[in-house]
Structure 1
């Protein structure tokens, strides 16, 4: 039979124009049969324009060869996926006469995905990312990625089960890579990082979702994502770098947060500061960091302040991280994680205190961000406060008092209390409050000591009322004195009086220590006397 002329012009995605026989192509394509209807056999040229043909001009040529060769085109791993997508796009599900069903042929070939090599699966994945919508709707993308990740999981299991690269190479000898390459790759657990890093973010997201579904180790996934971010960002412009960063943050957020290193998250966070990432992505990475803030270091927290802010460091960021940490109170309530964060924050506050642009309200917010129970001692806060008041010497007395009110005087050591009462940078009222606090603490100690004395039937009980009354009376005197203070006129008198009061506090501390030592001796003597009254064993019958 004489071949019909090429009477159909097809523009494929603006890449190339093909002249084909209308009847031959339409005999395989339901899409074209619908388009032309009864005019298929009529003479005259026609033109069709495709804007989203899967795979472009190259895949159209593959399809045309299939039609012209009476479906004798060889199906291989390198063209099955694209032909399957083309078959779906062109609706090549039914043939006319002896025409073969291309969808059915490619479906049968795809059933052998489990026997494809790693390189063939990776190549198919790269092809699919060029026409993701049709590859996803046709189901071929999911099948390829499932097989790819399944193969990756089997590689991981094999490498974990044996330390012999040679045996692993023999198991996967179907791979197109050389045996020597396989041997070298199995020495590295992360050998696949570099190979998957060529995929675009839109496809990597689907790969990661598949990895999570197939329960690949989240620690390994997170390591790959950090590697991927580093590789892709190094050669990207600002807009692309922002999209990659947001995509990686979203993928990391889908993992078990304990598997994502805090240090690496700070690296991405620092990069994102100049990229203006979305608020959603920023909240996600701050939440991930906040949940494991106890693993951070001081260098991690010293993030430069954003543009437009005068302060040296981004204090608002740290406050947000602390808030995220505290929101998960159930995780740190029964552990020492809160103490670690407290020590870290004390170091941070000491580092930012000399910043002349740090507002008093922000300094106070940093100190108050953690509950009082987080700190066993406020000595470090006092030292940071001392530096802050030295740099901000122009603050009013009211502002200084607001700052000093963040101190818990009862958790200051005796040495620091002495320093504070003699420190001219602190308001004089603060020194009085310190002495009141110390007197109250000594009162409690004396009460406890007297209780021990009563338990031991000590003859000193007659002096109990006197010992209990002295601290209380002194405290009342200090309160009355503090109310009548004239800070400006009696500054020197205040210092002299406070030094005298401090001497009394130190004397009371010595008395408490002596009494506690006496109680310990009494308790030990009671224990030893009770042990000597036991019945002695008989030496002879």
Structure 2
């Protein structure tokens, strides 16, 4: 007699016990009902003590069935109704779905919440409902992906393509949850920092994105959350490339967000040759790379070691002595380079002020030159006559005019002609 194993669809539940409640059965029943009947059915399910994650699955499945945008897939067969009716139905549906979300924040996936937030903004859902969704998204922002957070801006006031203000609110709320409640480790914060840098790089290509908005989002992440500033540097470089009309002070304030010590070798090489960066930022990058190079060459040296071995009467090893001498020379070189940069800046400022003064006197330059030349010639003629004539007597009626003068014995003599006096 052949014994066959039970089929996969067979159940081992005894016949005297009812089958357990499964998510599939609830989903099939819930998706048939209308929204009002769905709310009543969901309330009855919750009274039976069903797990919150199962309740979240029911809500997610039902919402994706009736609003394809919430499933992340386009609706290839839209219902035959007017745009206004569809708009109002979606807004009412989304507000109803938000109102029946379970209080447990972990019960709804972050991806579904972001799609719900995007569609809610699109149909102008009531602000109170959207704030509830934002709180839930901020709670699990470290689980979001780059594609999901690229929410367009549907506001008529802001001209940006992406809703940067929404992203700022989400990041700040996420950081506040960590600081106040201490709910997650630093891994989640690192993920959000990388997500923000990638988001900034995409948003930077928008010419309508203002500098304060860019800097606010970049500064919403704590500095210690970034293990490296390569992503932030890429975003700032993209912003500088797109917004070429930034002033010198604006570029300086923007580049202050970058920690040059957190840049990789590739990013530092790119920054050293980047003409869009201010000169001071490039110098800081070079100094940081030089310091990192020296630390790799001499990893055992410390800057807190101020006592000299010779002062203590010790005979240090040659390696230690040479490394200390090298450190001193490097510090002197850095100091000399800084002084040279400051000197060049002062010279540039002085030259600029002189150029400004010359431009102001440009109109009267030739008349001033003519007057200065005549005055100089007159002074030269007087000086020559004084040197050649001991009596120093001349007619003051005209500059350089030769007049007879008296010598020591009262005789009149005429000084030599002007051209002879200068020979």
TM-score relative to the length of structure 2? 0.65
Specify which of 272, 277, 286 is matched with residue 125 of structure 2.
Answer: 277
Specify which of 257, 260, 263 is matched with residue 412 of structure 1.
Answer: 263
Structure 1 residues 335 and 414: alpha-carbon distance in aligned structure 2, compared to 1, 3 A threshold:
closer
Q: Cα offset for 1:251?
A: 2.1
Deviations, residues 188-227 of structure 1 (Å, cap 9, x unaligned): 8423323234555455445444544533122221121123
Residues 193 and 228 of structure 1 are in contact (CA less than 8 Å); yes or no, is this contact kept in structure 2?
A: yes
Question: 1:390-401 residue pairs with structure 2 within 5 A?
Answer: 390-401=241-252
Residues 442 and 471 of structure 1 are in contact (CA less than 8 Å); yes or no, is this contact kept in structure 2?
A: no
The SS at the match of 1:289 is helix
Residue 199 of structure 2 corresponds to which residue in structure 1?
Answer: 348
Tell me, in whole angstroms, the C-alpha distance in 1 between the residues paired with 2:115 and 2:146.
14
Tell me, in whole angstroms, the C-alpha distance in 2 between the residues paired with 1:208 and 1:472.
72
Gaps of 5+ in 2: 1-6, 69-78, 80-84, 310-315, 350-423
Deviations, residues 265-318 of structure 1 (Å, cap 9, x unaligned): 122112111222122211111111111112111110111112322211111111
Residues 237 and 276 of structure 2 are in contact (CA less than 8 Å); yes or no, is this contact kept in structure 1?
A: yes
Specify which of 140, 148, 151 is matched with residue 303 of structure 1.
Answer: 151
Tell me, in whole angstroms, the C-alpha distance in 1 between the residues paired with 2:48 and 2:347.
74
Residue 290 of structure 1 corresponds to which residue in structure 2?
Answer: 138
The SS at the match of 1:450 is coil
Structure 1 residues 169 and 351: alpha-carbon distance in aligned structure 2, compared to 1, 3 A threshold:
farther
Residue 368 of structure 1 corresponds to which residue in structure 2?
Answer: 219
Structure 1 residues 485 and 204: alpha-carbon distance in aligned structure 2, compared to 1, 3 A threshold:
farther
Specify which of 466, 469, 473 is matched with residue 332 of structure 2.
Answer: 473
Residue 375 of structure 2 corresponds to which residue in structure 1?
Answer: none
Question: 1:27-426 residue pairs with structure 2 within 5 A?
Answer: 164=9, 189-199=23-33, 201=35, 204-205=38-39, 207-233=41-67, 237-252=86-101, 254-308=102-156, 309-329=158-178, 330=181, 333-426=184-277
The SS at the match of 1:324 is helix
Q: Cα offset for 1:231?
A: 4.2
Structure 1 residues 375 and 201: alpha-carbon distance in aligned structure 2, compared to 1, 3 A threshold:
same
The SS at the match of 1:273 is helix
Tell me, in whole angstroms, the C-alpha distance in 1 between the residues paired with 2:50 and 2:16.
20
My pick for the range that moved more, 422-431 or 200-209, is 200-209
My pick for the range that moved more, 338-347 or 162-171, is 162-171
Deviations, residues 408-463 of structure 1 (Å, cap 9, x unaligned): 11101233222212111111121122233334545666775236999xx7432333
Tell me, in whole angstroms, the C-alpha distance in 2 between the residues paired with 1:447 and 1:374.
28
TM-score relative to the length of structure 1? 0.52
Which of the pair is proportionally richer in helix? 1
Residues 432 and 478 of structure 1 are in contact (CA less than 8 Å); yes or no, is this contact kept in structure 2?
A: no
Structure 1 residues 212 and 420: alpha-carbon distance in aligned structure 2, compared to 1, 3 A threshold:
same
Tell me, in whole angstroms, the C-alpha distance in 1 between the residues paired with 2:133 and 2:187.
24
The SS at the match of 1:470 is helix
Tell me, in whole angstroms, the C-alpha distance in 2 between the residues paired with 1:244 and 1:485.
67
Residues 428 and 487 of structure 1 are in contact (CA less than 8 Å); yes or no, is this contact kept in structure 2?
A: no
Tell me, in whole angstroms, the C-alpha distance in 2 between the residues paired with 1:463 and 1:378.
34
Q: Cα offset for 1:363?
A: 1.7
The SS at the match of 1:192 is helix
Q: Cα offset for 1:171?
A: 6.2
Structure 1 residues 217 and 488: alpha-carbon distance in aligned structure 2, compared to 1, 3 A threshold:
farther
Gaps of 5+ in 1: 1-161, 174-181, 491-541
Q: Cα offset for 1:322?
A: 0.9
Residues 23 and 58 of structure 2 are in contact (CA less than 8 Å); yes or no, is this contact kept in structure 1?
A: no
Residue 462 of structure 1 corresponds to which residue in structure 2?
Answer: 321
Residues 227 and 262 of structure 2 are in contact (CA less than 8 Å); yes or no, is this contact kept in structure 1?
A: yes
Aligned length: 316
Structure 1 residues 385 and 206: alpha-carbon distance in aligned structure 2, compared to 1, 3 A threshold:
same
Q: Cα offset for 1:338?
A: 1.6
Tell me, in whole angstroms, the C-alpha distance in 1 between the residues paired with 2:348 and 2:66.
68
